[in-house]
């Protein structure tokens, strides 16, 4: 590796990209046909993408898709620094890019880096097409499953482009053959190219990676807690059996088996609304919660368990909390566990080991960089605080964006700032959850610590890939003896091996599949020389059908659903608008409000004005419709069926809004398409979007403010306001004065006083 040679290409800046034979070989293969590149983290998948890009730019634009904004920014910065083309021809699209600017940027760009959701929305809104795109690069290609945006974009690309080329990039596509086949099928992959550390053309660039496993013993006090919670778990499993549900051995009731049983119960409940299934689903919810508590106790320790039980307690006393949480936290053994927890030492033996490992690394090599991975945010906080106490260690907690109970996430801007400070040495240790596993430009580290193993081979490979990239590295995996840690560790190892075996066999299968398709296609054409449906280009058919297609006005927020994709696939003319009333407008007289079963139930609990929405819909359209989509209307939340029936009755009878129940997004789209075609058949008039929301009255706003306090529903809010006369008087009333109001007991009064007088600690 002495005397570095650089790539010499007119579109790559001189002395910028090191020449590596395996990268050139991979790029060469990727230019022949649509290819999935599987390459360990740190070995330059992005360089392969660059080589393919500069080779395809002469044929048209190149589009690189990456899952998150930080990754998009990272790729845009690299390609700008490496490619020898005007910077204005390299553009970046994220959710913050104004839609009005995207069209001109798209037209003038040669290389576009974007999050997939932006491109999907632009395609659905007919703002762009992919006809002039010579190659699409899918970063983290293993995401191309299910309803992820990659799947739709690839489908449209092969419809709209006569010479499509796809490059998929991943460090780990998965261990299950069916999952890898799904990714390849969705991206139209024809070849898979894989390199491992042991390949002869890769090994010269690989540094030693020392992997160790360190065991800790579960403390006696945790075993005592586990014994109490095991008793609760055993009781709930017995209840399930008493209800007539067959269970595997109690010692081997895995999360997957629990999820499978839950799905079966919900399926049976749809055809047979027996109370036994309602009870079973509720008991199973308790089993999920107590099983999770046991796992946290074993693998994370006292402090993490304490925080989890605090959240459960908060859920149990919340107005929107589940009955499962309430029953669980009222259970005598769980109360004993909580009481026992208060007297326990919060130290976790893993915590001391992490402190020792990081301290030694920093002491021996002060310029070192370290990442400690953990599955849980609570543990990340505990580890960060513990490391702050050690001289020389400068830790930063690195978590995702979502904010949870007493836990604010990091914005993408904050994440980028932390990574930069880690590069600069302001921090020398990242304590990270899964957000640091995928793709982000985190510098090569000297030590990676797994606070616990992960059962996923993809995540395990990504974590290990954070070290041994530019110099020798070390990986230490911590495991609690006799806990799920051990099972997860061996599961991950087995899946990594399975993944390599799967990849070895996949190319043969893909080649056979392609040959079979070509043979079948040729045979079909040979029959009397008659063309079959597949012989006609899909994109032309679709364009022709658009001229007579029914038009559907869709609210922008509905882009998050799969309904819009399904409508577009059916050939309907989608027009995206910001609708004030309804989600879909099909004619001057038909407007539709769509809610998933889960969303419909959430309006019962989170204070949203469902009846206000329905009232606006009924007032605006002569033929209003409510679509409720999906399963679990009577099972996914702990709400009495009669309460749900009462709301449905009111919508249908009091507001005169018919309700259509749809199985899934495709069923919803089929109904919408049918109604749109019927409404617009033979009519030339333009649809007028005239709906306006009704502004809430002052009493409605006052009720909303009071009912936003946990434990208080609309009826209690009205009684409080009628009794005291104003929000101000409710908020300043004493506990005793509050309890004078009908339906307000000590618990509700205490909650109001807690919210009003409690110190803000945001």
pLDDT of 534 reads 31
pLDDT of 320 reads 66
Residue among 369, 377, 371, 374 nearest 350 (CA): 374
pLDDT in tens, 147-181: 899 999 999 999 999 999 999 999 887 767 788 88
Q: Is the pLDDT score of 543 beyond 50?
A: no
Higher pLDDT residue, 246 or 321?
Answer: 246
DSSP letter assigned to residue 67:
S
Q: What is the percent of the chain where pLDDT is above 70? A: 86
Distance of CA 501 to the CA centre of its chain: 28
Q: Is the pLDDT score of 289 beyond 60?
A: yes
> Would you place residue 349 in the very low, low, confident or very high pLDDT band (cuts 50, 70, 90)?
confident
DSSP letter assigned to residue 401:
S
SS (H, E, C) 221-271: HHHHHHHHHHHHHHHHHHHHHHCCCCCCCHHHCCHHHHHHHHHHHHHHHHH
Report for 31-45, 134-148, 741-755: range of highest mean pLDDT? 134-148
Least confident of 26-35, 480-489, 647-656: 480-489
Q: Is the pLDDT score of 31 beyond 60?
A: yes
pLDDT of 537 reads 38
Backbone region of residue 17 per phi and psi (left: phi > 0; alpha: psi in -120 to 50; beta: other values): beta
pLDDT of 436 reads 66
What CA–CA distance (Å, rounded) separates 432 from 452? 12
CA angle 652, 670, 662 (to 5 degrees): 45
DSSP letter assigned to residue 652:
I
Q: Is the pLDDT score of 2 beyond 60?
A: no
Residue among 452, 531, 449 nearest 492 (CA): 452
Q: Are 678 and 645 in contact (CB under 8 A)?
A: no
Mean pLDDT of 673-696: 77
Mean pLDDT of 20-47: 92
Mean pLDDT of 95-107: 83
Mean pLDDT of 574-590: 92
Q: Is the pLDDT score of 182 beyond 70?
A: yes
Residue among 672, 385, 710, 391 nearest 550 (CA): 672
What strands lie across the sheet with 623-629, from one edge to the other?
573-577, 551-555, 584-585, 590-596, 623-629, 659-662
Mean pLDDT of 545-558: 80
pLDDT of 718 reads 86
- Give the pairing type, strands 370-373 and 111-114: unpaired
What CA–CA distance (Å, rounded) separates 553 from 547? 16
pLDDT of 400 reads 80
Mean pLDDT of 101-128: 92
Q: Is the pLDDT score of 610 beyond 60?
A: yes
* 3-class secondary structure, 481: coil
Q: Is the pLDDT score of 687 beyond 90?
A: no
Taking each helix axis as running N to C, give the angle between helix 21-30 and helix 45-56, from 0 to 180 degrees, rounded to the nearest 10.
50
pLDDT of 415 reads 84
Q: What pTM value is reported for the model?
A: 0.70
Higher pLDDT residue, 259 or 31?
Answer: 31
Report for 52-56, 417-421, 472-476, 524-528: range of highest mean pLDDT? 52-56
> Would you place residue 80 in the very low, low, confident or very high pLDDT band (cuts 50, 70, 90)?
very high
pLDDT of 527 reads 41
pLDDT of 96 reads 78
Q: Is the pLDDT score of 539 beyond 70?
A: no
Question: CA distances (Å), 719 to each of 499, 608, 701, 725, 756, in order?
Answer: 62, 19, 15, 10, 18
Question: CA distances (Å), 298 to each of 286, 348, 376, 452, 669, in order?
Answer: 19, 10, 13, 10, 47
What strands lie across the sheet with 133-139, from one edge to the other?
90-93, 111-114, 61-65, 133-139, 166-170, 35-38, 191-194
Q: Is the pLDDT score of 492 beyond 80?
A: no
pLDDT in tens, 195-213: 887 788 888 887 777 889 8
pLDDT in tens, 380-417: 888 999 999 999 999 999 888 776 666 677 887 888 88
What CA–CA distance (Å, rounded) separates 426 from 412? 19
> Would you place residue 497 in the very low, low, confident or very high pLDDT band (cuts 50, 70, 90)?
confident
pLDDT of 455 reads 75
**Residues contacting 532, CB < 8 A, separation 6+:** 524, 525
Least confident of 178-192, 498-512, 741-755: 498-512
CA angle 6, 10, 16 (to 5 degrees): 30
pLDDT in tens, 698-737: 887 888 788 778 667 777 888 999 999 999 999 999 999 9
Q: Is the pLDDT score of 530 beyond 60?
A: no
Q: Are 103 and 128 in contact (CB under 8 A)?
A: yes
pLDDT of 707 reads 79
pLDDT of 447 reads 92
Report for 14-18, 176-180, 344-348, 518-522: range of highest mean pLDDT? 14-18
Mean pLDDT of 358-386: 91
Residue among 92, 344, 341 nearest 229 (CA): 341
pLDDT of 500 reads 67
Neighbours of 692 (CB within 10 A): 10
Structural domains in the chain, CATH included, are 21-204 (3.40.50.300), 209-216+348-484 (3.40.50.300), 220-342 (1.20.1320.20), 541-680 (3.40.50.10130), 698-757 (1.10.150.20)
pLDDT of 522 reads 42
pLDDT of 150 reads 97
Mean pLDDT of the chain: 84
What CA–CA distance (Å, rounded) separates 96 from 118? 10
> Would you place residue 690 in the very low, low, confident or very high pLDDT band (cuts 50, 70, 90)?
low
pLDDT in tens, 459-485: 777 777 777 667 778 899 998 888 878
Higher pLDDT residue, 462 or 366?
Answer: 366
Mean pLDDT of 575-598: 92
Mean pLDDT of 440-448: 79
Q: Is the pLDDT score of 111 beyond 90?
A: yes
> Would you place residue 531 in the very low, low, confident or very high pLDDT band (cuts 50, 70, 90)?
very low
- Give the pairing type, strands 584-585 and 551-555: antiparallel
């Amino acid at each position: 590796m002495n005397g570095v040679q650089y790539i010499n290409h007119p579109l790559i800046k001189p002395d910028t990209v090191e020449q590596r034979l395996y990268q050139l070989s991979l790029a060469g293969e990727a230019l022949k046909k649509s290819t999935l590149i599987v390459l360990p983290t740190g070995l330059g998948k992005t360089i392969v993408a660059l080589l393919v890009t500069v080779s395809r730019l002469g044929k048209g634009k190149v589009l690189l898709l990456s899952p998150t904004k930080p990754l998009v920014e990272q790729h845009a910065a690299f390609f700008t620094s490496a490619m020898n083309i005007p910077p204005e021809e390299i553009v970046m699209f994220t959710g913050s890019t104004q839609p009005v600017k995207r069209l001109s940027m798209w037209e003038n760009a040669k290389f576009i880096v974007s999050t997939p959701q932006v491109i999907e929305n632009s395609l659905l809104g007919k703002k762009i097409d992919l006809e002039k795109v010579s190659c699409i690069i899918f970063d983290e290609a293993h995401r191309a499953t299910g309803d992820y945006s990659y799947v739709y974009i690839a489908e449209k690309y092969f419809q709209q482009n006569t010479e499509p080329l796809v490059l998929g990039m991943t460090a780990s596509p998965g261990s299950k053959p069916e999952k890898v086949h799904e990714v390849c099928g969705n991206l139209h992959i024809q070849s898979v190219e894989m390199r491992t550390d042991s390949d002869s053309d890769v090994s010269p660039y690989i540094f030693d990676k020392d992997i160790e496993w360190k065991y800790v013993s579960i403390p006696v006090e945790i075993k005592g807690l586990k014994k109490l919670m095991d008793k609760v778990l055993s009781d709930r499993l017995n209840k399930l059996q008493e209800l007539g549900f067959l269970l595997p051995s109690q010692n081997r009731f895995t999360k997957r088996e629990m999820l499978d049983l839950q799905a079966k119960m919900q399926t049976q409940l749809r055809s047979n609304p027996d109370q036994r299934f309602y009870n079973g689903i509720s008991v199973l919810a308790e089993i999920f919660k107590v099983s999770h508590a046991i796992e946290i106790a074993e693998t994370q320790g006292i402090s993490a368990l304490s925080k989890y039980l605090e959240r459960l307690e908060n859920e149990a006393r919340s107005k929107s909390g589940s009955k499962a949480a309430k029953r669980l936290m009222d259970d005598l053994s769980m109360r004993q566990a909580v009481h026992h927890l208060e007297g326990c030492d919060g130290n976790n033996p893993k915590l001391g080991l992490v402190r020792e490992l990081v301290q030694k690394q920093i002491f021996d090599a002060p310029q070192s960089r370290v990442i400690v991975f953990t599955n849980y945010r609570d543990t990340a906080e505990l580890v960060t605080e513990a490391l702050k106490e050690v001289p020389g260690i400068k830790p930063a907690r690195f978590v995702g964006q979502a904010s949870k109970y007493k836990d604010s996430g990091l914005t993408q801007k904050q994440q980028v700032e932390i990574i930069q400070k880690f590069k600069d040495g302001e921090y020398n240790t990242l304590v990270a959850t899964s957000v640091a596993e995928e793709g982000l430009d985190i510098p090569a580290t000297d030590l990676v610590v797994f606070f616990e193993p992960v059962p996923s081979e993809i995540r395990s490979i990504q974590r290990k890939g954070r070290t041994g990239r530019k110099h020798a590295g070390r990986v230490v995996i911590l495991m609690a003896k006799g806990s799920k840690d051990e099972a997860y560790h061996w599961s991950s190892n087995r899946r990594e091996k399975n993944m390599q075996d799967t990849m070895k066999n996949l190319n043969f299968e893909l080649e056979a599949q392609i040959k079979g398709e070509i043979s079948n296609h040729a045979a079909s054409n040979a029959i009397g020389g008659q063309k079959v449906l597949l012989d006609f280009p899909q994109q032309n058919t679709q364009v022709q059908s658009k001229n007579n297609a029914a038009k559907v006005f869709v609210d922008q927020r509905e882009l998050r659903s799969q309904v819009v994709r399904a409508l577009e696939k059916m050939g309907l003319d989608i027009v995206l608008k910001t609708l004030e009333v309804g989600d879909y407008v099909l004619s001057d007289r038909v407007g539709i409000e769509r809610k998933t079963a889960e969303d419909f139930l959430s309006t019962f609990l989170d204070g949203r004005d469902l009846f206000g929405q329905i009232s606006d819909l009924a007032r605006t359209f002569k033929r209003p419709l409510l679509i409720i989509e999906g399963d679990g209307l009577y099972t996914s939340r702990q709400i009495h069926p009669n309460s749900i029936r009462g709301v449905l009755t009111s919508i249908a009878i009091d507001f005169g809004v018919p309700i259509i129940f749809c199985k899934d997004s495709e069923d919803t789209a089929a109904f919408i398409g049918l109604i749109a075609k019927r409404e617009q058949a033979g009519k030339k008039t333009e649809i007028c979007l005239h709906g306006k929301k009704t502004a809430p009255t002052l009493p409605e706003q006052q009720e909303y403010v009071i009912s936003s306090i946990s434990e208080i529903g609309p009826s209690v809010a009205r009684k409080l306001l009628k009794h005291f006369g104003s929000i101000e008087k409710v908020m300043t009333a004493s506990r005793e004065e509050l309890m004078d109001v009908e339906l307000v007991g000590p618990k509700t009064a205490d909650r109001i006083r807690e919210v009003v007088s409690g110190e803000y600690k945001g």
